[in-house]
Structure 1
Amino acid sequence: MSSIALVSIHSRVRELAPGFIVSLIVAAAASFLSEHYGAPVMLFALLLGMALNFLSGDGRCKAGIEFTAREVLRIGVCLLGLRITLGQIAALGWEPVLLVVTSVAVTILLSMLVARLMGFQTLFGMLSGGATAICGASAAMAISAALPAHAAKEKATLFTVIGVSALSTVAMISYPMIAQWLDMSPTTAGVFLGATIHDVAQVVGAGYSMSHETGDIATVVKLMRVAMLLPVILCASMITRARGADSTGKRPPLLPWFAVGFIVLASINSTGLVPSVVQGMGNDLSRWFLIIAISALGMKTQLKELAAVGIKPILLMFGETIFLVGLVLLLLHWVW
């Protein structure tokens, strides 16, 4: 029995290896370009992946690319839990927590409403609103993994990742100037940057470009937004479960395994027993898994399909970004 299992595993590895290795190479190339040219690594991974979309057709790489875009993505989301501790959140007090919870909830709910009014599926509003309000491309990938299967889901996910990556880069440059123009204190500026910029890397870059104190606060506030992934994933999972059985005939679990892993790792990390070396390795692995997964997603799409979406999704995401900034500024004025 064990020999049969080993043969099966060996056969499965041989089937998946070509697609995974190609995705890994694309991710490495994207990281190299990002480090040398300063653009978001997720954007490079998508663009390079789309340039190799012919590999996802019927061939040796197809199964591995499918596996990487689905399962490797979920492992990367699970490992995001190592970025968060309850102590980090408690140290800032209740005001940033209230600001983050309010801004995330209101932005996503309004995005779902506006998406419906614009003729899109409500779930596209949850996807784009979640990416804008929580943590950019990582949130888009995590929410997409929990949403019901749909013919247009992968295209919507890729479009959201491209849009939120571009907007995050613009925000990293322009938001510190807004903070300086409004004469914000280091603490207020940190909360503002952490609560509005989409991706973690851009928050870190913008925060520490102002001061060390601003960078520290911005990073913690951003991680509070990352923690909001859990309730949003839970809502997406409940929607998926309400839709009934999946393609295999099984009813989806109330909470996906990667969300459970996220909770477990965040809880363990909050005990203070996890060495900083392990935290760093977990963060690096999470980052790499997400880049590899998005490289595979890029290989599964056609550029002409993304070009066909029109101007309305772009306007939706731009509007979400502007609304989030306005809401956070209003809440800062009210709370502080």
Structure 2
Amino acid sequence: MVSTLRSRWDSHFGGVLLACVIAAAATFLSEHYGAPAMLFALLIGMAFHFLAKDAACAVGIEFSAKTLLRFGVGLLGLRLSIGDVESIGLGAVVVVVGFVMATLVFGALLSFLFGRRLAFGLLAGGSVAICGASAALAIASVLPPRSDREQDTLFVVIGVTALSTVAMIAYPVLFRALGMSDLESGFLIGATIHDVAQVVGAGYTVSDEAGVIATFVKMVRVALLPVVMIVVMASFRGAQSQRVSVPWFLIMFIVLAILANTGLIPRAVLDLIGELSRWCLVIAISALGVKTSLATMVRVKPSYGIILIAETLFLLVIAVTFVMTVGF
């Protein structure tokens, strides 16, 4: 057991250390220049992309970008109060579910219009509507096998990651220009950006309040992933044997949110864990930046790219329209 732990430590150390150093630099710059630490972490990380596949760093970078991210998101549950949920309202949660369903249907329609199969429409629509690359991989796992399935999945993963990265930078600026409050911006970020990492990064770029709200709204979307996977499994024969599970970090988020609102956890402990969560997220965003390749982001097929961009804009438009016409 000791040798196994030692082996894992050796394989993870280089990449995790790199992400931690970038996170520390991003935090230092943020504290001295007032810009968001998440944005600094992403941009500095992108400058170190050449180390993403280095043997000494690759495993640790992957661990930081995925496991640490999900752990940090799970810890955010301790920062979600009943007041936060009430500020959004049950009606807004129902609307988010409507956004997801509408985007899925829109994706299916676009796939037919561009001569693509229903499977691609559900794959692309699910990735945009729910949680980006994670949703794409999960949905692909329950689609019937085809020779080009892996290629389609890889394209969707690259495409939604690129769009989500752009959205992480552009959406906070857009929502501020539209005069949105921190609450409204947090709701829109959580309801429209694809990947969890970019939702967290964009939310905390606006404010801590927007970051928590954005994460909560994003968790509502993530919670729909098993439902969508079941729908996909029912739509295609031969996929019914696949197992569908709820993401562990979603369960962690919900459990910790419940505990936080019982009053049993001392405020000092909540503050300490909140700081731990923040560092986990900055480190994860740093690793995500290291993994982001600008060259890879532009390698997309025109028709596939149009479908993903159209779905992204569709989700953005219906969400902004809802906030500007109905509000909270």
1:229 CA displacement: 4.4
Distance 1:271 1:239 in 2: 36
* Equivalent residue for 1:54, pick from 36, 50, 57: 50
> How far off its partner does 1:145 sit?
8.2
Match of 1:328 in 2: 323
- Verify: 1:317 aligned to 2:296, yes or no: no
1:21: Cα distance to partner? 0.5
Shift of the alpha carbon at 1:115? Answer: 3.6
2:156 pairs with 1:163:
no
State the alpha-carbon separation in 2 of the partners of residues 29 and 157 from structure 1.
28
1 CA distance for matches of 2:247 and 2:232? 11
Give 1:233 shift: 4.4
What displacement does 1:221 show?
Answer: 5.9
Determine if the alignment matches structure 1 residue 284 to structure 2 residue 275.
Answer: yes
1:258 Cα deviation (Å)?
Answer: 1.9
Structure-1 separation of matches of 2:105 and 2:166 = 19
- In structure 2, what residue type is equivalent to 1:306? M
1:64 equivalent in alignment to 2:60: yes
Range 20-29 or range 151-160, more displaced: 151-160
One of 171, 176, 184 as aligned partner of 1:173: 176
Match of 1:7 among 3, 8, 28: 3
- Choose the corresponding residue for 1:97, options 90, 103, 124: 90
Percent identity between the aligned chains? 31
SS in structure 2 at match of 1:228 = helix
Cα distance change, pair 38–263 in 1 and its aligned pair in 2 (3 A) = same
CA distance in 2, matches of 1:302, 1:32: 25
Q: TM-score, normalised by structure 2?
A: 0.71
1:258 is aligned to 2:249? yes
Structure 2: gaps of 5 or more residues: 115-119, 142-152, 191-201
Note closer, same or farther for the CA distance 1:221–1:327 as it changes in structure 2 (3 Å cut). Answer: same
1:307 aligns with 2:298: yes
Q: Tell me, in whole angstroms, the C-alpha distance in 2 between the residues paired with 1:156 and 1:278.
A: 40
* Residues 69 and 284, structure 2, Cα contact 8 Å, conserved in 1: yes
Distance 1:34 1:126 in 2: 34
Structure 1 residue aligned with 2:99? 107
Per-residue deviation, residues 135-181 of structure 1 (Å, max 9, x unmatched): xxxx65875786657434652453143122123321342132xx6xx
Change (3 A) 1:47 1:88: closer
Q: Does 1:272 align with 2:299?
A: no
Q: Is residue 30 from structure 1 mapped to residue 22 from structure 2 by the alignment? A: no
- Residue correspondences, number: 292
Judging changes above 3 Å, is the alpha-carbon distance between structure 1 residues 275 and 145 closer, same or farther for their aligned structure 2 residues? farther
- Cα deviation for residue 265 of structure 1 reads 0.9
Distance 1:15 1:223, change over 3 A: closer
CA displacement at 1:13 relative to structure 2: 0.5
Among 7, 12, 15, the residue aligned to 1:16: 12
For 2:75, give the aligned amino acid.
L
CA contact (8 A) 1:144 1:153 kept: yes
Query: Cα deviations across residues 212-267 of structure 1 (Å, max 9, x unaligned)?
Result: xxx7xx788656525524523444665798899xxxxx965522322221221112
Helix, strand or coil at the partner of 2:263: coil
Q: Deviations over 1:28-60 (max 9, x none)?
A: 233334445555544433332232222122421
Q: Counterpart in 2 of 1:135?
A: none
Shift of 1:196: 2.9
Tell me the CA shift for residue 98 of structure 1: 0.5
8 Å CA contact 1:141, 1:157 repeated in 2: yes
Instruction: Compute the TM-score of the two structures, normalised by the length of structure 1.
Output: 0.70
Structure 2 residue 220 is the aligned partner of structure 1 residue 228: yes
**What is the one-letter code of the residue matched to 1:271?**
T
Distance (whole Å) between structure 1 residues aligned to residue 212 and residue 76 of structure 2: 14
> In structure 2, do the counterparts of structure 1 residues 304 and 288 end up closer, same or farther at CA, with 3 Å as the change threshold?
same
Change (3 A) 1:298 1:153: farther
2:247 partner amino acid: P
